[in-house]
Amino acid sequence: MSDLDVLHQQQLTSFKISVDAGSSLNFVFQQNSIPLIRNITLSSNSRIAETKLIIQANPEFIQSTEIKIAAIEAEQSIALNNPKLHFDIHYLLNLSENIKASLSFKWVDLEGNILAEQQKEIEVLTVDTWGGEKQPLELLASFSQPNAA
C-alpha cells in the first residue's frame, strides 16, 4: 500500500466524540451526586483497538481521568454513562467567585495520536450559588443555611 493509499484510508476513517454534560457545577451538586457528565459516546466507522479517553478540566476542579477502551468495531458506537470523576473538593468548597471553565475530551490511540477531541464549557459556581432553573429543584433546600455567619 503506497503512502497516498494510507493517507486516503486515514481520511476515510472517522472518529467522533459526543458529550452530554451539565452546564454548571458546584460543591452542592457534587455532594448530592448530580452527574457533571451524563454520557459520552465514542463512534468510529472503522475497527480500532486499545485506545483511551482522557478527560481534563481547566482550571483543575477534577483530576485528569483516563478511561481505557478495549476495542470498537467498524460502524459501532459505545456509550460511557456517568463516568467516575475525582473532584477537588477543596477547590469547589473554597471558590470565591463563579468562573467559566472547560472540560477537554481527547480520544487517543496507543501512540498518543489524537483520534477525536471536544471541549465543553461549563460554569463552576461558588458553594452558596444556586444554579437556577437548569438545576434539580430538589437541591434548592441545600442552599438554606440558617446557622451560617
The neighbouring-strand residues paired with 62 are: 87
pLDDT tops 60 at residue 38: yes
Reduce the DSSP state of residue 70 to 3 states and report it: strand
Pairing mode of beta strands 24-25, 114-124:
parallel
Where b means 16+ CB within 10 Å and e means fewer, 121-133 reads ebbbbebebebee
The pLDDT assigned to 134 comes to 59
Residues 90-144 pLDDT 10s = 999 999 999 999 999 999 998 999 999 999 999 999 988 766 555 555 555 555 5
* Closest residue by Cα to residue 53 from 42, 37, 43, 45: 42
* Closest residue by Cα to residue 21 from 105, 106, 86, 117: 105
Predicted TM-score (pTM) of this structure: 0.81
Of residues 45 and 129, more confidence is placed in 45
Provide the strand spans (E) within 63-113. Answer: 65-72, 76-81, 99-108
Q: Which of 1-10, 13-22, 31-40, 107-116 has the lowest mean pLDDT?
A: 1-10
The pLDDT assigned to 6 comes to 45
pLDDT tops 90 at residue 40: yes
Q: Are 80 and 60 in contact (CB under 8 A)?
A: no
Percent of the chain with pLDDT over 70: 78
